[in-house]
Structure 1
Amino acid sequence: MLLRVFAAVACLFYCSIISAADRPVFRAGAFAIDVSPLELPVIVNGGMSERVIDKVDDRIHARCLVLDDGSVQIAIVVVDSCMMPRELLDEAKEMAAKATGIPTHRMLISATHTHSAPSVHGCLGSDADEKYTKFLPIQIAKGITQAKERLKPARIGWAVGRDETNVACRHWEMKPGIAPTNPFGGTKDDTVMMHPGFDNPNKIRATGPTDPEIPVLSLQTPDGKPLAVLTNYSLHYVGGPKGVSADYYANVCDEMRRLLGADQSADFMAVHSNATSGDMWLMDYTKPKRMFDRETVAKEVAAAAFAAFQKIEYFDWLPIVMQEEKLTLKIRKPTAEEVEQATEFVKTFDGRKPKTVPEVYARETLLMHAMPPTRELKLQAIRLGDLGIAAIPNETYASTGLFIKKNSPFKTTMNIELANGCEGYIPPEELHKLGGYTTWRARTSCLQVDAEEKIRDQLVKLLNQVANERTAEKPVIAQR
């Protein structure tokens, strides 16, 4: 009898060893590569007119994360940049694919949307900085390569925090005749303006809701040491110093590193991504004006993220699924009459860069006239077990992000905007009728009026597709 019991126990022990040995290993690797400009001065975009900066106030980075479930590898990268064109990112992905073997369609590269980084994309009155544009994709590819080389066994988990303080709608419907109409923006009798101010009696209502959620994705070593953390929030930007700066995004990363006790860890990386913040900023114009700076905002956002982090339940293994799909949309082209008017107006500032709103958009009208009639967008969806990630190449309203989350098959969904390109603002169709800055026709706001609906619906479809793949492969809950 004892022999039978001993044999049964030995068999179970042997089977458990075999089972553990056969189980795939989840791995993660992280690396933040410095992408600060090597040559100064540099052109900086993000404003109505071009700026040239001759100093670096704080270093900027491409924060690279590579995940591997044993059969699928993906890369998620967040770059301290205002926006990056698809051609540049495709170039970076091709270089990284050659170095790592990770397919380009399994790479997500997004911009934080700091307004104080070197320009790699023509935006309103700014051009791209040619030298920096050549430098950046090489650095991104190096960063992905370094992240893959750092792959090590990891466990993964996520949670969602909330910060209600630092998100508010910056677009307001105004009383008739108050909002400015851009003579070259392609709109008429605008009723919406951006940043109406606190004591403006002419403001009526904010045009959209907010999304205060802060999804938090955490990677740890099997023994519980922090390896990487990815946070995500719908705040457009805060505002950096006069020199090149990563803005508040890097401050969030620094604060998360401190809160997690990872100050001395060379292997740890924090990354903070932009969610759907096209119509968001941190000032609520229904409340009294408050003082803020990028450090105080970062501490508040990081505190909310850390509160969620402490509730995370981890998995030793889960399946990774990633899909990419292209969507072709029309461009809102100027009429022949608008082109003729813009041509004559541009002659009045020939030989210099545009400075005023009419000058900027007159030039944009001519640039839009020369563009092809359609544009191809690259959309992506990722499944990490029961977490979904939607990658959007646009500046996206919070209402769009909330729609995607509501209709996602995943309980937790993270939206990352300005990913894999910078295809402009996509206001919901009903808001196009109200006009305002984000509807004014330009390279940064040019897609067909119903583009938002088509993009969001396609992303929900992609999320459902990745949710339905590898469903038989169950996540392995980490042992405490």
Structure 2
Amino acid sequence: MNMLSLGLKTILLSYLLLIPSLSLAAEAPQIKVGFAERDITPEIGMEQPGGYGKSFHRSFHDPCKVRAAVFDKGKHVVAVVSLDALFIRRVTVNEIRKRVQAKCKIPADSILLHATHSHSSGPMGMILPGEYDHASDFVQELAYEKSSTADSAYLETVVDQSVEAICDAFKKRNASKCGAGVGIEEQVAFNRRFFMRNGLSFTHPRPGNPDIVKPAGPVDPEVGVIGVWDEQGELKGCIVNFVCHATTNPGGISANYIYYVEQVIRGVFGKDVIVVFLAGASGDVTQVDNLSKFQRRPSEESARFVGGRVGAEAVKVLLSMPRGNFETVASKTKMLKIPRRKPNPERVKKAIETVKAGSAKSGAVDWVFAKETVLLDARLQKEPVAEVEIQAVQLGPVVLLTDPAEFFCQLGLDIKAGSPFPITFPVSLANGCVGYVPTKEAFDKNGGGYETRLTGYSNLIITAGPQMVDAAVELSKQLTPDKVPQRPAAPPFNNNPWGYGSVPPELE
């Protein structure tokens, strides 16, 4: 064998030995992440959503935003988007996804669009323009003149700004280090439903009520956090998951307590950090403590209290979490068709009579829910079955499992219990809105309360909750979780303790 042949063989052998290391490097490119935000603050005078009637904004407190995070592993890209909004209807979700896919090529089904459920945000509903055009003039008047309605120009602004934020985040993505962790905040959120001495469950029975027996549902105190740092070690943005209704309403247009979550995190890590807040299963959880012996905090103080403590816990988790590479980014969806509950014909007939007689005769509460019965009856003519999207988004060791509902807290806990991931974020009011979805138990003989009332907004069959839990858990089991990043292992002990400290006591 001549020296040339030997040299070629040596080079070939070296190359073959190098292939496994090259393959490993190719399998795990450094994740690229980008963040961006845009303003979606409504104008003074626009409708304030959050009830079954009309209310209007008269002042400004803080801006409403759409905040986007884009995670890119080369083959797979996902966008996680949070809007300061009461909810986001399916038609708006579809429009944003379509435009984003056309503009920056992120697959439509890899975009998660979540509403924080801020009750102090812009006019995204309850009712969309034209939604009841198929109904009688009487029903249209109830829908458009007597109910909370979306503003078409504002909806278009939200779509435009959401597309801009997502595509800007896509452009800004660059090599990043990520971490994930969970903290506990137990003092700001409470289940609002209680078993009463009469055998039923009441929503907000009010502090001091002697007929309260015990809470009718749990809370979830976990503060889930994903942190993303640039190559210089600066925090670029984070995702925060927590369970509590955004009903603190600090006064005027506002992102609600989420504003103070952002303020606290930015106060520690910098004013440019973008906080993508994802509300968990908070359909029956609010900041109101019905068992408290003290007066409720004023609205502004309440917003600071809830947002400040959640933000502070998120800061603690961010400061503690190890940073590394997220190996896997993925997204899966499943569509469910879930029927709506139907009011019986006699109830509809009585509701029409009540509405026509006016609220002065029946009382405001009975009139509102009679109106809702009439609207539901008209909605069933066009949409007897709801389209329900369940989505799973994997970000390394974390899975985000969505529902388009005001989901009861127990259902979120059921999702966490069934998920194989070390960290699971249930994300409610995502990719659509189907109203309240209680547990099956809330409909039994000891059930009841506001969330179980049959309205044009909340009306899915009583098994909807378990169906959505099962679908979410099923999707999570189709994914393989990464390991949570860990700090580097300490070097082995070198049999050389610290010289200053390895000495006996000195007495003189």
Q: 1:359 aligns with which of 345, 354, 367?
A: 367
Q: 1:464 aligns with which of 477, 483, 487?
A: 477
Q: Does 1:368 align with 2:376?
A: yes
Closer, same or farther in 2 for the Cα pair 1:429/1:16, shift >3 Å? closer
1:196 is displaced (CA, Å) by: 1.5
Structure-1 separation of matches of 2:443 and 2:44: 40
1:13 is displaced (CA, Å) by: 12
Structure-2 separation of matches of 1:30 and 1:416: 19
The answer as to whether partners of 2:248 and 2:287 remain within 8 angstroms in 1 is no
For each residue in 1:388-438, what CA deviation from the matched residue of structure 2 results, as whole angstroms up to 9, or x when unmatched?
A: 110111111111111110111111101111000111111111111221100
In the other structure, the counterpart of 1:406 is 417
Q: Does 1:131 align with 2:153?
A: yes
The answer as to whether partners of 2:181 and 2:225 remain within 8 angstroms in 1 is yes
The answer as to whether partners of 1:334 and 1:369 remain within 8 angstroms in 2 is yes
Letter of the aligned partner of 2:336 in structure 1? L
Q: Does 1:381 align with 2:403?
A: no
1:479 is displaced (CA, Å) by: 6.5
Q: Does 1:118 align with 2:129?
A: no
Aligned-partner SS, 2:168: helix
Q: 1:200 aligns with which of 181, 194, 209?
A: 209
In the other structure, the counterpart of 2:466 is 453
The answer as to whether partners of 2:114 and 2:429 remain within 8 angstroms in 1 is yes
1:327 is displaced (CA, Å) by: 0.3
Structure-2 separation of matches of 1:475 and 1:303: 22
Tell me the TM-score normalised to structure 1 length.
Answer: 0.87
Structure-2 separation of matches of 1:13 and 1:476: 29
The answer as to whether partners of 1:48 and 1:355 remain within 8 angstroms in 2 is no
Q: Does 1:347 align with 2:356?
A: yes
1:15 is displaced (CA, Å) by: 7.5
The answer as to whether partners of 2:322 and 2:485 remain within 8 angstroms in 1 is no
Consecutive aligned runs of 4 or more in structure 1 exceeding 6 Å deviation: 10-17, 473-480
Structure-1 separation of matches of 2:162 and 2:363: 32
In the other structure, the counterpart of 1:31 is 36
Q: 1:98 aligns with which of 95, 102, 106?
A: 102
Closer, same or farther in 2 for the Cα pair 1:308/1:175, shift >3 Å? same
Name the larger-Rg structure. 2
The answer as to whether partners of 2:257 and 2:303 remain within 8 angstroms in 1 is yes
Root-mean-square deviation (CA, aligned residues, Å) is: 2.8
1:221 is displaced (CA, Å) by: 1.1
Closer, same or farther in 2 for the Cα pair 1:333/1:254, shift >3 Å? same
How many residue pairs were aligned?
A: 450
1:286 is displaced (CA, Å) by: 3.0
In the other structure, the counterpart of 2:167 is 145
Aligned-partner SS, 1:76: strand
Letter of the aligned partner of 1:431 in structure 2? A
In the other structure, the counterpart of 2:279 is 274
Question: What are structure 1's unaligned runs of at least 5 residues?
Answer: 1-6, 177-189
Considering Cα pairs closer than 8 Å and 6+ residues apart, tell me whether 1 or 2 has the greater RCO: 1
In the TM superposition, 1:29-428 aligns within 5 A as: 29-37=34-42, 39-122=43-126, 125-176=147-198, 191-259=200-268, 261-263=269-271, 265=272, 268-289=273-294, 291=297, 292-349=301-358, 356-371=364-379, 372-428=383-439
The answer as to whether partners of 2:335 and 2:387 remain within 8 angstroms in 1 is yes
1:72 is displaced (CA, Å) by: 0.4
Structure-1 separation of matches of 2:248 and 2:430: 21
Question: What are structure 2's unaligned runs of at least 5 residues?
Answer: 1-10, 128-145, 490-508
The answer as to whether partners of 2:250 and 2:303 remain within 8 angstroms in 1 is no
The answer as to whether partners of 2:79 and 2:166 remain within 8 angstroms in 1 is yes
1:311 is displaced (CA, Å) by: 2.2
Q: Give the stretch that moved more between structures: 147-156 or 51-60.
A: 51-60
1:16 is displaced (CA, Å) by: 10
Structure-1 separation of matches of 2:487 and 2:79: 23
In the other structure, the counterpart of 1:183 is none
1:298 is displaced (CA, Å) by: 1.5
